[in-house]
Each structure stands twice: as C-alpha cells, then as structure tokens.
Amino acid sequence: MKATAAVLNKPNGPFELETIDVAEPKTGEVRVAVKAVGICHTDLVIASGAMGLQFPAVLGHEGAGIVDAVGQGITDLKIGDKVLLSFNSCGQCKPCNHQEPAYCENFLGLNMACARADGSTRLSKDGSPVFDNFFGQSSFATFAIANVRNTLKVDDDADLATLAPLGCGIQTGAGGVLRSLKAQKGESLVVLGAGAVGLSAVMGAKIAECATIIAVEPQEARREIATELGATHTLDGQGDMAAAVREILPSGADMVIDSSGYLPVVEQSVNMIANRGRIGLIAVPGALDAVLPVPIVQWVTIGGTVRGIVEGDSVPHEFLPELIAHHKAGRLPVEKFSRYYKLKDINQAIEDAHTGKCIKAVLLID
C-alpha cells in the first residue's frame, strides 16, 4: 500500500515528504495508521548518521495510531484498535526474561539497525529499500509497521496526540525516577535539564511525593514550567551547582538524574549527593567518549551509586498503562509542554525545538 513519509535522504536532513510503499505485516507484526508521533532527541542524533544509519530512511519512535492490519500469530490486537508504540525487544534473552526489556541483549539490532533481522525492510520506493524499523516502528509516516512487543492497545477514547510521547521520552524521565532510582516519599531529587525528559522526571518525583525537587535549567521559561509541574526550587546552571544544591540541601540530594548531557554540570553531580545517594544518567553527551570522574574514596565513604538508564527501566505493557492513569488523574500533564505540528512541518518543528520555541514537538497526521 502507499503511504506518505518524512524521508531522510542524507545525514542531518532535511526530512522530505515522499510517497512510499508499505509491505503487508509479517508474523508478529502490526500495521498502524499513525495519527501522532513525538519528535525525540534520539531521532535527531540518529539522523546525523550515528549508529551507521543507511539512507534513505524513515525515523520516528513515539508513534500512536490505529491498527490497520495484523500479521499471523497476533491475537490480542485487532483492526481498529487504538495503540501506542514504544521500543522493541526480543522477549527471549536473559534481561527480557527478567522483565528488563530496556536492557535487551538485542536492543541495538532491534531498535537501531533500521531493518528486519534478515536485512529486509518494510518500506520501499520504486522497488528500492527505504530503511525503517527504527525502534521497531519508524512512525514519521502515515503508516508504520510495528511489532506486537512494542505495541500497546489503549482505550477507544484515548487522545493519541497527547499520549504519543509516552512511548519514549515521557516514560524515560518519569521511569528514571519511579523505576530506575526508585524514589521514595520524602526524598530529594535534582534534575539536570528541563526538556521533555527532565520535566517528566520532575513529574515523576511529584508522583513519588518527593519533598524537595530541584530543576537545573538555563532557560527561564523551562524553569517556570518546571515549577508549575512540581519543582520546589530551580537553578540556572551557572557557576558551582554542587554548592548551590547544598545551600538548599546541606546534606546533599538523595538522587540526581541527568537529562542534559551537559558535562560541565553533570560532572558536578558527584558532589551533590547525600550519603547513600544515587545518580541516574539518561542523556548521551555530545562526545561519545565522555567520562564522569568519580572520587573513589568519597564515594566509598558515602556509599554513592551511579548508573545508566535506558527507557526508564520500563516494561511498556506494564508502565505505559500506569502513566496513562497518572495522566487521567492530572498527575502527568504532558500537554502543558507539548506543541503540535503537521507532518509536513517536521523541519520547522525540529528547528523550533533547537531554538527553544517548543519543548516537546508532536506531529499530527491526517
């Protein structure tokens, strides 16, 4: 069948709207008429040619839509179901068997290779492959083929435009606090960066009933919305942030979570934490060989912990329904920092995100 997609033909774009062919779904696959898709920083990192992306390619990994066709072996999804799309996993390796699909041993191949395991693609143009299967979906298009493991059925009245970003950025930030760092009532948290992921971490901390939530963010408008969403204090990221945190929390913070990747501030996080404090690293810094220096004697003495976080340790079929419930209850108002664009305006949406005109860009697809 024919579809319209925002196709990337060279590193760093621009994305170009083109008519492409979409294959029939194979066993375990689902074809989805995409109605909304968030733009995530990871899309832009991969668009640069990172991870060996081949061109032409279709990206997009925060899709939401309506099931259009199902492949063999699928019994819990049917045509007409509203669905959210998330990251893919194999379901067979040790982490998957331990309910840790975000750390699937086959994560890179299933989410970044932009082709099926046999090298085939679901998309083509004039008989030539268009590389897809990005995060098991490639949803910058009117139709996408996903997999049963990364497709979640939602209620018939679900607002897909609002919920689409939950599939990656929102679950990463909120899950980083609630699942990865396991925030407890009364604890304190420092969030480095107040983009969509950082603001989701703020909301996660509010849900966990953290007593002190400090957002570190250079943009004043983002500091203001962080306060609106639950931050008790904000800092502009200038100067000695460890000292600034300890003016608020003399004993240090129980948790620090980085969503910025900005090393001059991230490096200070090791001096922000309290005894038995923990640091969660979400963002990938610009330099892939970046190092976080940890003072060993100090950390042995206080029992500090630092760990990487992928997708907020989410099990999508469990955690996304929790996030949807929080949204319904008003505890996860992602629409407060979302801005909506048409698919044809994808390049403008990306530019607005780069320049700070919007925090979370969501593409709406007719």
Note the CATH architecture for domain 2-167+333-364.
Alpha-Beta Complex (3.90)
Share of the chain above pLDDT 90, in %: 93
User: Roughly how many angstroms between the first and final C-alpha of the chain, as a whole number?
Assistant: 17
Name the band, by pLDDT with cuts 50, 70 and 90, for residue 356: confident
Q: How far is CA 90 from CA 28, 95, 135, 335, 354, in A?
A: 12, 10, 12, 32, 34
CATH of domain 173-309: 3.40.50.720
Domain 173-309 in the same topology as domain 2-167+333-364: no
CB count within 10 Å of CB 57 equals: 26
Reply yes or no on whether the pLDDT at 180 is more than 80: yes
pLDDT tens, residue by residue, 136-153: 999 999 999 999 999 999
Q: Where are the domains of the chain?
A: 2-167+333-364, 173-309
**pLDDT tens track for 115-127:** 998 899 999 999 9
What is the pairing mode between strands 212-216 and 233-235? parallel
Q: What is the DSSP string of 235-284?
A: E-S-S-HHHHHHHH-TT-EEEEEE-S--HHHHGGGGGTEEEEEEEEE-SP
Confidence of residue 30 (pLDDT cuts 50, 70, 90): very high
In this prediction, residues 224-229 reach a mean pLDDT of: 98
The residue assigned the tokens 């044809």 is 344
**pTM recorded for the entire structure:** 0.96
- 366 pLDDT band, cuts 50/70/90, is confident
* pLDDT over threshold 80, residue 347: yes
- CA 311: distance to chain centroid? 6
Which residue blocks in the chain are alpha helix, DSSP H? 41-47, 94-97, 107-112, 160-163, 169-175, 196-207, 220-229, 241-248, 263-266, 296-302, 316-328, 346-355
Q: Per-residue pLDDT averaged across 68-79, rounded? A: 95
Statement: residue 114 has pLDDT above 90: yes
Give the pLDDT band of residue 189 (cuts 50, 70, 90). Answer: very high
At 228 the three-state DSSP class reads helix
Is 195's pLDDT higher than 80?
yes
pLDDT, tens only, 275-330: 999 999 999 887 878 999 999 999 999 999 999 999 999 999 999 999 999 999 99
Identify the pLDDT of residue 48: 86
Q: What is the pLDDT of residues 32-59, one digit of tens each?
A: 999 999 999 899 889 988 778 999 999 9
How far is 253 from 274, CA to CA, in rounded Å?
5
CA diameter of the chain: 64
DSSP letter at 188? E
- Rounded-to-integer distance, Cα 120 and Cα 148, Å: 18
Helix (H, G, I), strand (E, B) or coil at 335: helix
The strand pairing partners of 153, in sequence order, are: 83
- The mean pLDDT value for 223-246 works out to 98
Nearest to 198 by CA among 167, 226, 218, 237: 226
pLDDT average, residue stretch 188-193: 98
Owner of token pair 């970044």: 112
99 pLDDT tier (thresholds 50, 70, 90): very high
Residue 302 pLDDT: 96
